[in-house]
Each structure stands twice: as structure tokens, then as C-alpha cells.
């Protein structure tokens, strides 16, 4: 149907190694849950690992690494900008605790 887009593909071996790395990172996340770190540090570590996992899924499983750069530039900035806008309100959550009436 559309054989005109003959872009480069990854090999089965590449996909299997991505899969194993993703599983390993998940195990690391569970381990992080059980060593007693502060919530803030844990949140940063877990979100960092999750972003790496998401990046690997998007790049390899969803093939974005093998697509044209124009597609990447159309899709990702949209998500990044709107997510940053959602975070505009986030600092309020730290104040909300102190603004409560005492129980």
C-alpha cells in the first residue's frame, strides 16, 4: 500500500535489548521504593528513570528514531510546552499545606 517510505529499521536483537533494559530499569525502580530516601529525592529518581524508559519506548518501539526529524519536531514540542504550562501552578501545592486551617 505505501511501500514508498523505506526508512531504516531496527533489528530483532536491538528490540530485545531495549526490552531487557526496560525490565531492568523497572526492577531498579521497585528497589528504589524500598530503600528509605526522602520523598523529593525518590520522586526525582523515579521520574528520571521513567522518562528514560518512555524515551526508549518512543524511540525504538514506536519507531520515532527511524522517522523523519520533521515528525519529531511536530509532535514532541507540543507535549513539552503544554506539560510545562501545567507545571506553572505546581509551586502552589507547597504553599497549600501551610495555608490550611489548623485541625
Residues at the site binding another protein, with contacts judged by CB under 8 A: 1-2, 4-5, 7, 9, 12, 15-16, 19, 22-23, 26-27, 29-30, 32-34, 39, 42-43, 46-47, 49-50, 53-54, 57-58, 61-63, 67-68, 70-71, 74-75, 78-79, 82-83, 86-87, 89-90, 92-94, 96-97, 100
> Smallest gap, in angstroms, from Cβ of residue 10 to another protein?
9
> Smallest gap, in angstroms, from Cβ of residue 46 to another protein?
4
Distance CA 91, CA 55 (A): 26
Q: How many CB atoms lie within 10 A of CB 13?
A: 8
Distance CA 90, CA 47 (A): 16
> Smallest gap, in angstroms, from Cβ of residue 97 to another protein?
6
Return the residue matching grid coordinates 515528525: 71
Distance CA 48, CA 24 (A): 15
Amino acid at each position: 500500500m505505501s511501500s514508498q517510505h523505506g526508512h531504516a529499521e531496527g533489528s530483532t536483537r536491538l528490540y530485545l535489548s531495549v526490552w531487557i533494559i526496560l525490565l531492568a530499569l523497572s526492577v531498579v525502580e521497585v528497589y528504589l521504593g524500598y530503600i528509605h530516601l526522602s520523598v523529593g529525592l525518590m520522586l526525582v529518581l523515579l521520574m528520571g528513570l521513567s522518562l528514560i524508559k518512555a524515551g526508549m519506548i518512543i524511540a525504538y518501539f514506536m519507531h520515532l528514531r527511524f522517522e523523519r526529524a520533521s515528525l519529531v519536531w511536530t509532535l514532541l514540542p507540543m507535549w513539552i510546552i503544554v506539560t510545562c504550562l501545567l507545571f506553572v501552578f505546581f509551586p502552589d501545592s507547597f504553599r497549600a499545606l501551610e495555608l490550611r486551617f489548623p485541625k
